[in-house]
Amino acid sequence: MEQQANLLMANNYTAFLGANGTYIENAEGVPLFKDAQGTVVTVWGEIMPQGSHAYDSSGSQVPAIDANGLPMVDSKGQSVYTDVYGTPILSDLELAAVLMIANGYTPFFDGNGTYIRNAEGTRLFRDAEGAVVTIQGEAMPAGSPAYDSTGNQIPAFDANGLPMVDSKGQPVYADVYGTPILSETELLAVLMVANGYTPFLDGNGTYVKNAEGTPLFRDAQGAVVTIAGESVPAGSPAYDNVGKQIPAIDANGQPMVDSSGIPVYTDVYGTPILSEMESAAMQMIANGYTPFFDGNGTYIKNAEGIPLFRDAQGAIATVWGEVVPAGSPAYDTVGNQVPAFDANGQPMVETKGQPVYADVYGTPILSEMESAAMQMIANGYTPVFDDNGTYIKNAEGIPLFRDAQGAVATVWGEMVPSGSPAYDTVGNQVPAFDANGQPMVDSNGIPVYADVYGTQM
């Protein structure tokens, strides 16, 4: 090697010596030489590229020296070493950091002496006024989250130096200026808590809200207010975090249902939201009454549309507890009168084929005369109708019936003798008809009328 060194020096190479007069070496411990242009080669004549580390004869890396002749340190105070050409060995990032420091910026370090970074992991610096910039000199706006060197978001700290939590106990993080990052809503929430209000949370630890989706709070007396401090009146519905109305719970801890089996919801004070009528219905049930429902599970109502209930003995009362007398018509939930049904379960019709309706007790609603007419039919009589399907009547306007032998009787069962005049439903006497089916007249051209048996009078 000595012979090779002498050869190099004979060729105008100069030994590359340190301050101690000993060789500067490469990473393999091979002595280095420089030519007249300053190119560095090994003792074997191999050119050393820029960036190659330089070592002294004891194997220690050679430090870089700054403009003041002092050993250089990087932006974190770590020693900077030189390459074989005396150039400080720094990454592009560290070169940029050193340049930032040279321009008066201070590295933004955490308590561990490692860089605070932005969301992209870029190192941050501060100027003399405290403005935060990236290592490339780009300004960081307020509200930008700050991260440590491992990528964890940096917590905000309160006035007592403790990590901050929001109104729901969740960690609050800081921006690059150390300001807590909170939404406008959460800022208001923190203020509410500071003013002695308690967040109104459900069992999942999420806010109970009003119909507009605004988080709610309670004061020490239990009064409910919005996050903006506006009072929320009783009766205001309560919603969960996903916008669903909150159910009311009964004394057994079960979700409440109303008298029709429909879920009941709570207001913001935990009170079931019920109309005056539904409250009355629930009270009727509590008093032992049963809702009077039709086959569709909807209320039977009276003529005023008031829901009806039955007691244990079957007596009917309104939702307000007023007794409903027999004969009162029954209506369904859309206001249609409820039909009566016969012994075969078929809708009843009266003697003229018209529907018969039921009262609230299920009894057919018929006039005294129509009841008598139905009894006559039940006894084997047939109504005496004209061609229009309306009753033929006697002189007193009483509907007439015939038995199987053709004998005529009133609706009350009184026999009507032959020669008794017959009248139509509007009170006109019924004419007699000749063999050709034409109305009969006498020799003077006067109409001839028929008796109840169809005989000319």
In a domain, 96, yes or no: no
Domain shared by 340 and 387, yes or no: no
What value does the CA radius of gyration of the chain take, rounded to a whole number of Å? 53
Please tell me the predicted confidence (pLDDT) of residue 184. Answer: 81
Domain end call among 363, 381, 396: 363
Q: Quick one: tokens of 293?
A: 């429902």
In a domain, 310, yes or no: yes
How many domains does the chain contain in total?
A: 2
Residue 365 · residue 359 · CB < 8 Å: yes
Joined together, the tokens standing for residue 124 give: 């941050």
**Looking at residue 134, what is its pLDDT?**
93
**Are 378 and 357 in a shared domain?**
no
Q: Output the DSSP codes for 388-402.
A: TS-B-B-TT--BEEE
Q: For residue 310, which phi and psi values (nearest 5 degrees)?
A: -125, 140
Assess contact for 187 and 213: CB atoms under 8 A: no
Question: Which DSSP letter does residue 412 get?
Answer: T
Residue 139 exposure: Cα atoms within 13 Å on the Cβ side? 5
Secondary structure class of 137 (helix, strand, coil): coil
Q: Do the bridges between strand 32-34 and strand 40-42 make them parallel or antiparallel, or are there none, so unpaired? A: antiparallel
Taking the C-alpha atoms of residue 281 and residue 307, their distance in angstroms, rounded to an integer, is 8
Q: Do 356 and 407 belong together in one domain?
A: no
CB 187 within 8 A of CB 164: no
Give me the pLDDT at residue 230, please.
Answer: 93
Q: Calculate ∠ Cα 384-386-391, nearest 5°.
A: 50
Q: Answer yes or no: do 347 and 378 share one domain.
A: no
Tokens of 189: 């929430």
280 three-class SS? helix
CA atoms within a 13 Å half-sphere pointing along the CA-CB vector of 318: 14
CA distance 168 to 193: 10
395 shares a domain with 359: no
- 384 and 450: one domain? yes
The answer as to whether 374 is a domain residue is: yes
User: Considering the domain boundaries, does residue 160 fall inside one?
Assistant: no
User: Over the range 146-166, which residues count as b (16 or more CB within 10 Å of their CB) and which as e?
Assistant: bbeeeeeebebeeeeeeebeb
In a domain, 343, yes or no: yes
In a domain, 68, yes or no: no
H or E stretch at 283? helix 276-286
How does strand 308-310 pair with strand 124-126? Answer: unpaired
Structural domain that includes position 441 = 367-457
If asked whether residues 452 and 371 sit together in one domain, one would say: yes
Dihedral over alpha carbons 183, 189, 194, 195 (to 10 degrees): 140
Based on the fold, state whether residues 350 and 436 are members of the same structural domain.
no
Q: Could you list the pLDDT tens digit for every one of the 457 residues in the chain?
A: 788 878 888 888 898 888 888 988 999 999 898 999 999 998 898 999 998 999 998 999 999 887 788 888 876 778 889 888 988 887 777 878 888 888 899 999 988 888 999 999 999 999 999 999 999 899 999 999 999 989 999 999 888 888 988 877 789 999 999 999 888 888 888 889 889 999 999 888 889 999 999 999 999 999 999 998 999 999 999 999 899 999 988 888 889 887 777 898 999 999 888 878 888 888 898 899 999 998 888 899 999 999 999 999 999 999 999 999 998 999 998 899 999 888 888 888 877 778 889 899 988 888 788 888 788 888 999 999 888 888 889 999 999 999 999 999 998 999 999 999 999 888 999 898 888 888 898 888 899 998 999 888 8
Same domain, residue pair 371 and 450: yes
Given 335, 363, 391, the domain boundary residue is 363
In the block, tokens 């369904």 appear at: 332
Q: Do residue 447 and residue 383 come from a single domain?
A: yes
Residue 98 resides in a domain: no
Q: Is residue 351 included in any domain, yes or no? A: yes
Last residue of a domain, one of 347, 363, 379: 363
Residues 384 and 323 placed together within one structural domain of the fold? no
Same domain, 359 and 374: no
